[in-house]
Amino acid sequence: QKEVEQDPGPLSVPEGAIVSLNCTYSNSAFQYFMWYRQYSRKGPELLMYTYSSGNKEDGRFTAQVDKSSKYISLFIRDSQPSDSATYLCAMRYPNDYKLSFGAGTTVTVRA
């Protein structure tokens, strides 16, 4: 079993829809959680990070962490064609810089 599980999709939604992305993890020692966005043939860029259970909002993006269920989510509101990308969840232990990644979910937002 992988440490971090993420449905690879692909996911195709119409413009304006809410995109919901999820990851589950097996090791409760993971405490710090990130979402990276990766456009085609580019490097991953940090989209959001959160270190506690609950919701964190940044514009159209909301990151949600449920440590009791070992489950994290990313929601994209009012999705735009420019949101079309692969979204990777990542997580790490406290005081350890190494990241464990999910496989990534490819999202296409149709105009």
Which range touches another protein (CB under 8 A), out of 10-18, 45-53, 54-62, 73-81? 45-53
In whole angstroms, what is the distance from residue 12 CA to residue 19 CA? 9
In contact, 38 and 88? CB cutoff 8 Å: yes
For 18, 26, 30, 39, the CA distances from 44, given in Å and listed in that order, are 22, 23, 20, 7
Please select the residue that binds another protein; options are 1, 28, 43, 59, rule is CB under 8 A: 43
In contact, 98 and 92? CB cutoff 8 Å: yes
Q: Does 52 bind another protein (CB under 8 A)?
A: no
Q: Does 59 bind another protein (CB under 8 A)?
A: no
Please select the residue that binds another protein; options are 46, 71, 77, 80, rule is CB under 8 A: 46
Binding site for another protein (CB under 8 A): 4, 6, 8, 32, 34, 36, 41-46, 49, 88, 90, 97-99, 101-104
